[in-house]
Amino acid sequence: MDTLVKERIQVDFQNRMDRDELENCMRCGFCLPVCPTYIQSGYDETQSPRGRIALMKGIVDGEIEPDEDIEQTLNECLGCRACEPACPAGVNYGQLLEEARDIFNQNKQHSLPEKVIRKTVFEGLFPHQNRMENMTSLLTFYQRSGLQKIARNIGFMKLFPETLATMEKVLPSTPTRKEMRSQASYYVHKSQPKARVAFFKGCLMDTMFREVNKATIELLQKVGCDIAVPDTQNCCGALHGHSGEKEKAKELAKKNIAAFEEVGADYIITNAGGCGAFLHDYGHLLHDDPEWSERAANFASKIKDITAILIDLDFHLTPLQMPEQVVTYQDSCHLRNVQKTFDEPRLLLQSIDGLHYEEMNDAARCCGSAGIYNIVHSELSMKHLDYKMEQVKDTAATTIVTTNPGCLLQMKLGIEREGLSDKMRAVHIVELLIEAVDRRTSV
Amino acid sequence: MLDKSIIEQFKEIVGEKNVETSNMSLHSYSYDATPGFRKTPDVVVAPNNTEEIAEIVKICNDHKIPLTPRGSGTNLSAGTTPLKGGVVLLFKHMNNILEVDEQNLTITVQPGVVTKKLIDKVEAKGLLYPPDPSSINISTIGGNINENSGGLRGLKYGVTRDYVLGLKIVLPNGDIIETGGKLAKDVAGYDLTRLFVGSEGTLGIITEAILKLVPMPEYKKTMLATYADIDDAARTVSAIIENRIIPATLEFLDQPTVEVVEEYNQIGLPTDAKAILLIEQDGPESVVNKDIEKIAEICKELKAVTVSVAKNEQEATALTTARRSALSTIARLRPTTFLEDATVPRSQVAPMVKEINRIAEKYNVKICTFGHAGDGNLHPTVPTDVRNKEEYHRVEQAFAEIFEKAVELGGTITGEHGVGAMKAPFLKLKLGEEGIRALKSVKQSFDPNNIMNPGKMFFEEEEKGE
């Protein structure tokens, strides 16, 4: 990093970082024992929330100059925000991290390949649902045309890093373009609806994890919701926000707010912990935008996870049944730490006859998926995953339940890496609930 | 700056990856949990065993390089801030539980073991290690021993000092000595074990410890009493003990604390209560029930407005929430939180709290007081903002007066956090010139070159660092 860049970064830190928030960190260290990177690093202060905040504050105060080491430790944070509930002073670490990453990123000269990738992902792909559909249908073509078989037979995937190669194996079988487009935008409940909700369908959830979205709508209908699915909604922007592309995230947020204002529902339901948390944070994302701050706060106050509304509407009191099996639950970090939803999924699982629910040790510890962390920091991510799989194995569960697509893929990856794919599966909670409903109706 | 050749020598001893000199690392070990103190060290070294530490210490002694041992850096008296630069010594690799001896009821540990891990390990075997500082989830046992940490169970069970049976120590000249052992009785020579407990890293480096365990009490009960008058609460504390009952926990919250706790947590505390007592008793079920019944009676006799006894674990947790959320609530009020630990004989708790409130008014600062009433260990806590120089100055003045008052009432300037750099200016209040001279002569005989955690305990002007 040359001196000029360092100076620019420092000026940006001074202008943009929230000094009160930095000052709020009382350095008590209560965040350390819950931080996955601190533990994984063998208790290295530089890899902890307290350490990272001290470094950010050090740059603002001019006590330390920004350098590659600091940029790296900020990037190696999983952003799981487990430190936030542990913090006595209530420091909003996630917001500090996003701002700091954005500053480093905006002042950085990306290499040409990285530029291309970032532009493709952040501008070309995720903001455009039709392109997400194209991507997914390409994947569907790959899976259904026999290409996948050929690729696997000739060992094509061996050319890629281990994580990506395994990832290829665990991707769900995706829908065709026709299937993706055949979605209604409004589901009216027959009798008097118990709640008027809008559904945030997400980009990955609506393409690659299409089945999960279908199951979510079905569940919402079953508990008596009137459901609107605004078709002008788009990607939540989490991926952008977490990767130092804040402006792009704001654009996406504004479009979503406008889209959901039109339908005026009581709640906005999400089924992806990561998206839910980012939507939940729109209030902060747009807090200094006079035209949008109030609208964003209003939008954010309506965000509710599918598991929370199911509990609200007593879904867990209806009879549910599954074949005898042990299940365990992997918390979505953001659902737990930002949306504070952690009892609800457990209650739902415990309400199903036949299921034996076994809480795993450190269920709240990040699995290492963390957006695109498992691709960008593959080696570190696998260390987090290995620890997680040890805890899963200790429960003797045959089903791992998750509430976020990233965690779902990561757990599938974990099962594959452990060679357990013939005796263990990973599912999204709504898939399991729909199974339980179907089973109940069939018996 | 340290000579490059010295850094190379450290690398040879502990391995390259265990010696850190990057700006990022040095900055990250320049502070602990104490507000207002920071100083960048020259190098951070993470040794693997006692022998490596001895070699490092010899080099430091030969070259008069300051050395600050550090666990998790949760220290509240700047005891782990490297005020003179030099070496920060980390115990992240020395974090093993070496042995649980169920015949002798002892546990042998390395200093880097996190206290909670130790406690979980022995509780799984039906044993208890009683010292439980609030930082239990992250503080290390080495830090607890060096600061002689207390906790909520101090009244009945004592503090860290009462559980350290033996130590392995590297002295500042590089000698390795062992003190005490798995012994209930041992009068062979000076009691170096006790001298090193609470020595704040100024005399040598503890590299192994044998700790005493006790049987786990079989039953526990929790209750809460609220008062309209501080004196009634204080008289209750004395009356309980006069009645020959020693509760496991006897905690106190004053009105400003209750107000902020209730405002933020909405747990139904009476905000007009001038004081709240949280009481726990443990032991055989019949004894606990009898004690709790008697305590409830005493509370009512002494004009408690409400007395509630938890019927089950869940209710007990609800009652302890008030005490446990005190710090996190106060910490949210303002950017900086000063948590002090002035301590008085328990008969003086009420006068001390009143003095604290008077001092708060005099200097126009907000002071919330909570703490361990049973052992007189109070935590006057000030929410402030260090960036506001004028207010910060008033906070400093208020604390100085609080410490004076504590000593006047037969108390001390620190009950469980240690002197460090934070309380060094006030040590004279407690010990007098002669006392400090005695302490200094001990320091001098162990560490003539003053390499061990210099700048701590003994006051020198301008210690605040960068």
Give the residue from A26, A72, A76, A84 with the most B CB atoms within 10 Å of its CB, the best one to mutate: A26
Is A152 a residue whose pLDDT tops 80?
Answer: no
Among partner residues A23, A43, A44, which is closest to B335 by beta-carbon distance? A23
pLDDT, position B276: 93
Tokens of B8: 């190379």
Contacts of A63 in chain B (CB under 8 A): 27, 466
Q: Check: CB of residue A56 under 8 Å from CB of residue A101.
A: no
Using a CB-CB cut-off of 8 Å, the residues of chain B touching A54 are 27-28, 30-31
B/e letters for A355-375, b = 16+ CB within 10 Å, e = fewer, are bbbeebebbbbbbbbbbebbe
- Give the one of B27, B33, B328 whose C-beta lies nearest to A55's C-beta: B27
- For residue A174, the model assigns a pLDDT of 72
Query: Is B439's Cβ below 8 Å from some Cβ in A?
Result: no
- Compare B9 and A207 and report the one with higher pLDDT: B9
- Mean pLDDT value of segment A100-127: 79
Q: Specify the pLDDT at position B269.
A: 83
Mutate to test the interface with B, among A21, A40, A43, A77 (most CBs of B within 10 A): A43
Instruction: Return d(Cα B414, Cα B436) in angstroms, integer.
Output: 15
CB atoms B24 and A64 under 8 Å: yes
Burial of B190 (0-12, 13-18, 19+ CB in 10 A): exposed
Answer for the pair B200, B242: CB distance below 8 angstroms, yes or no: no
- How far apart CA B282 and CA B289 sit, in angstroms, is 9
Instruction: Name which of B22, B28, B327 is nearest A51 (Cβ-Cβ).
Output: B28
Query: By the 8 A CB rule, do B69 and B89 touch?
Result: yes
pLDDT at A442: 62
In terms of CA atoms, which chain A residue is nearest residue B25? A46
From chain A, pick out residues whose CB is under 8 angstroms from the CB of B139: 29
- pLDDT, residue B466, reads 52
Give the separation between CA A122 and CA A241, rounded to whole angstroms: 10
By the CB < 8 Å criterion, does A390 face chain B?
no
Residue with token string 């708060």: B360
- For residue A331, the distance in angstroms to the closest alpha carbon of chain B comes to 21
Q: Does A156 touch chain B (CB under 8 A)?
A: no
Do the chains contact at A23 and B385, CB–CB below 8 Å? yes
- On whether any CB of chain B is under 8 Å from the CB of A55, the answer is yes
Task: Report the candidate in B276, B272, B288 with the shortest Cα–Cα distance to residue B250.
Answer: B276
Q: Contact B29/A70, CB-based, under 8 Å?
A: no
Q: From the CA of B462, how many Å to the nearest CA of chain A? A: 19
Report which secondary-structure segment, H or E, holds B382. Answer: strand B377-384
Q: Is B306 on the interface with A (CB under 8 A)?
A: no
Distance CA B440, CA B457 (A): 10
User: Tens digits of per-residue pLDDT, A373-419?
Assistant: 888 888 999 999 999 999 999 999 999 999 999 999 999 999 999 99
Q: Give the closest residue to B250 by CA, choosing from B225, B280, B295.
A: B280
Nearest to A383 by CA among A404, A369, A395, A394: A369
Helix (H) or strand (E) run with residue A260 in it: helix A246-263
Q: How many CB pairs under 8 A join A and B?
A: 85
Q: Do B23 and A44 touch (CB under 8 A)?
A: no
A133 pLDDT higher than 60: yes
Please give the single-letter amino acid code of residue A416: E
Q: Which residue of B has its CA nearest to A33?
A: B138
Residue B178 to residue A9: CA distance in whole angstroms: 52
Q: Residue A214 above 80 pLDDT?
A: yes
Q: Is the pLDDT of residue A240 over 80?
A: yes
Is B104 exposed, middle or buried, given 0-12, 13-18 or 19+ CB atoms closer than 10 A? middle
Report the residue of chain B nearest A90, measured CA to CA: B332
Q: What is the pLDDT of residue B443?
A: 97
The answer to whether the CB atoms of A23 and B95 lie below 8 A apart is no
Identify all chain B residues contacting A43, using CB atoms and an 8 Å cutoff: 72, 90, 92, 95, 112
Q: Are A66 and A8 in contact (CB under 8 A)?
A: no
Whether the predicted pLDDT of A124 surpasses 80:
no
Contacts of B30 in chain A (CB under 8 A): 54
pLDDT confidence of residue A161: 63
pLDDT tens series, chain B, 466 aa: 789 999 999 999 999 999 999 999 999 999 999 999 999 999 999 999 999 999 999 999 999 999 999 999 999 999 999 999 999 999 999 999 999 999 999 999 999 999 999 999 999 999 999 999 989 999 999 999 999 999 889 999 999 999 999 999 999 999 999 999 999 899 999 999 999 999 999 999 999 999 999 999 999 999 999 999 999 999 999 999 999 999 999 999 999 999 888 887 788 888 888 999 999 999 999 999 999 999 999 999 999 999 999 998 888 888 888 787 888 889 988 999 999 999 999 889 999 999 999 999 999 999 999 999 989 999 999 999 999 999 999 999 999 999 999 999 999 999 999 999 999 999 999 999 999 999 999 999 999 999 999 999 998 765 455 5
Distance from CA of B96 to the nearest CA of A (A): 13
CB of B25 within 8 Å of a chain A CB? The answer is yes
Q: Does A138 have pLDDT greater than 80?
A: no
Distance CA A368, CA A386 (A): 9
Compute the Cα dihedral for A273, A275, A278, A283 and give only its sign.
Answer: negative
Cβ–Cβ below 8 Å for A65 and B327: no
Q: How many C-beta atoms lie closer than 10 Å to residue A343's C-beta?
A: 12
The mean pLDDT value for A167-189 works out to 68
B137: closest chain A residue by CA: A33
pLDDT score of A345 more than 70:
yes
pLDDT recorded at residue B388: 94
Question: Which chain A residues are Cβ-neighbours of B114 within 8 angstroms?
Answer: 33
Closest-CA distance of chain A to residue B92, Å:
6
pLDDT at A249: 93
Judge: B74–A89 Cβ closer than 8 Å, yes or no.
Answer: no
Distance from CA of B41 to the nearest CA of A (A): 13
Helix (H) or strand (E) segment spanning residue A94 = helix A93-106
B18 touching chain A per CB within 8 A: no
| pLDDT value at residue A192 | 78
Distance CA A143, CA A139 (A): 6
Is the pLDDT confidence value at A443 over 60? Answer: no
Reported confidence tier of residue A18, pLDDT bands at 50, 70, 90 = very high
Q: Tell me the percentage of chain A whose pLDDT exceeds 90.
A: 68
